[in-house]
Structure 1
Amino acid sequence: MNNFLYKNTKVSYSDSGKGSAIVLLHGFLENATMWDSYMVSFTEKYRVVTIDLLGHGKSDCLGYVHTMEDQAQMVNAVLQHLKIRKSIFVGHSMGGYVALAFAELYSENTKGFVLLNSTTYTDDHERKINRNRAIKMAHKEYASLVQISIANLFSIDNRESFISEINQVKKEALKTPLQGYIAAQEGMKLRKNKEHLLHLTSYPKLLILGKKDGVLNYEDNIKQIEGTNVQLVSFPDGHMSHIENRDELKLVLLGFLELC
C-alpha cells in the first residue's frame, strides 16, 4: 500500500496492473484487504486501484463526520494524483454509497459502477435510529459491538461454515478506530437518495444483491432498478457476497468489466 496526503490526512491506496482503471471501494468496517483474493484475476487485464476510505484501514480520519461526498472527493484526489481520468467503480455496501457520490460529483470521470450489496436509497427513520443507538453503544462496548455487527452480515446458514472468514473480517474491522466508526455512521445517516443516477446515466451499471441480506431487504431494493438499464445479479446468501459467493462474484464482475 502507498500513502497519499489529502488535506493533511494520510490516505492509503494501492495501484496495480495496466489497462482500464477499476476502483475497488470497501464497505463500513472493512478496508482494502477485502479485495485481496480478487486482485490476481483483475490485474491480468485492468489497472486496479484500492483505497482505504477515510477512518478505515490505514487511512486516517479527516473529521468527526465523513459524508459520502467527503469520501468521494478524497477518492477523486487519489485518482488525480495517479493521473487516472475515467474509472469503473465497484463499491461494497458503504463503498457503493461512495461510488454513487463520486458518480454524481464527477460524472465525466465515471465509466460505470457496480453496487455490491449496496443501494441508492437513503436511510429510513428506523435505520437512522439504529445508527444513533450503535454510536452510543460504541462509546461503551466498541469491540463487542463490532464483532456482533460483523457476524450479522452473513446469512444465518453461513455463520458456521464461514467461521474462519468471519473471524478474519472481525479482526480487520477492529482496526477501524472509534472515531472512524462514528464518522462513517454519521456520514451514512446524511446521505441523499441517488436513485436518479440509475435512470439518467447511460454507462453500464450493475446491482448485486443477496436474497438473505440482513442489512438490505432484497424485495425492496430490486424496486430501485425498475424501468432502468441496470443489470441485476442475485445471490442466495447475505450481505457479504465477496466472501459468501466469491467464485461466482469474480465471474460476474469480470463479465461486467468487459462491457465497460
Structure 2
Amino acid sequence: MHTSHIVYQNSFVYYTVYGRGKTVVLLHGFGEDGKVWQPQIDFLQPHFRIIVPDIPGSGKSSFIQDANIDTYAEIIKLILDNEAKKFPLQVNEGIALIGHSMGGYIALAFAEKYPQYLNCFGLFHSSAFADSEEKKQTRRKAIEFIKANGAGSFLKTTIPTMFATSFAEQYPDKIKALIEEGKTFSAKALIQYYQAMIERPDRTAVLKKFNKPILFLMGELDKAIPLQSSLQQCYLPSQSYVNILSQSAHMGMWEETEKANNVLFNFLIANF
C-alpha cells in the first residue's frame, strides 16, 4: 500500500494504491472518503491493483474551487496517467471503474469522456438519470440547511437514512463512526457536491453507447436511488450485469459486505 497525489489547479488530490495486478478504481460517494471501501479493498487487493482516490474536498484531498462532476472525472484521468508512468502495463491495458452514488456519476462522466481507458465500469447504488425537479429541490433545501447549520450537523441527520433500519439497529457504532468522520467535511465541499449533482446531465446515452460490460449493484431498500429507477436503466447497455442486494439501502458495501464483495470479484474476474 502507498499513498500518492496529483496537483490540480494548485490543489493536492490524494489517492491510495493497494495490491498488484490489473487496475480497479473505487470512487466513493457524497459525505464519504476512500475509507468507506475498506471491506472491498481488503477482499480485492490480493487479486487486483486497487486505486482509491479521495474526491477533492473529501478525506486528505484539497477543495477545488468551481469543480463539478466533469472536473472530478478529469482528475481520475490524471491519477491514472500518473500511475501509468510507474506501472504502464497495469493501467494501459484497461481498467475497471466502480463508483458508489456520486462516485457513479463521476464514473459515467469518465466513461463518456475517456471510454478508451475502460474495460468495464460499475454503478454501485447510482444512476445515469439526471435529477428530477423534485430531487433538485430536495438538494437545494439541503444546501440551505448546510449553510445554516454546518456540514457535521447535516451529515448527522442524513447518514442514518442511508442504511436499512435493521442494519442501523444492529450496528449503531458503525453509523456513529461514519457520522464522526463527517465532522471533517467543510460546508463548502458538501455544497459543491450537491450543486454538481444538480447540474449533471442525463447520461443514459453513455449506457447505450458503451460497448463493454456495465455492472449495476442495487439496494432493494435504497431510498436515495430507488430500485425501480435502477431497473429502468439496466437494460440499456449491450452488456449488463445486474445484482440486487435484498437487505441493503444505500450502503451495500457495509450492509451486505460478503455479497457485495463476491459480486464485485466475479464481475471483475469475468471482464479482465
TM (norm. structure 1) is 0.96
Aligned equivalent of 1:38, options 20, 40, 51 = 40
Paired residue secondary structure (1:160): helix
- Contact 1:213-1:238 within 8 A present in 2 as well: yes
Alignment match, 2:77: 76
1:162 aligns with 2:171: yes
Aligned equivalent of 1:133, options 106, 119, 141 = 141
Runs of 4+ with >6 A deviation: none
Alignment match, 1:239: 250
Alignment match, 2:97: 89
For residue 227 of structure 1, report the CA deviation from its aligned partner: 4.8
- Contact 2:39-2:254 within 8 A present in 1 as well: no
1:45-73 deviation per Cα after TM superposition (whole angstroms, max 9, x unaligned): 2111000001111111111x431101000
- Contact 1:211-1:234 within 8 A present in 2 as well: yes
Unaligned runs of 5+ in 1: none
Paired residue secondary structure (1:75): helix
Alignment match, 1:115: 123
The worse-fitting range, judged by mean Cα deviation, of 127-136 and 195-204 is 195-204
Paired residue secondary structure (2:58): coil
Q: How many residues align?
A: 259
1:197-245 deviation per Cα after TM superposition (whole angstroms, max 9, x unaligned): 2222121111011111011111122011225431110012200000101
- Contact 2:33-2:54 within 8 A present in 1 as well: yes
TM (norm. structure 2) is 0.92
- Contact 1:55-1:61 within 8 A present in 2 as well: yes
Paired residue secondary structure (2:147): helix
RMSD: 1.2
- Contact 1:198-1:230 within 8 A present in 2 as well: no
Paired residue secondary structure (2:261): helix
For residue 111 of structure 1, report the CA deviation from its aligned partner: 1.3
Q: Aligned letter for 1:234?
A: I
For residue 152 of structure 1, report the CA deviation from its aligned partner: 0.6
Paired residue secondary structure (2:207): helix
Q: What is the percent sequence identity of the aligned residues?
A: 26
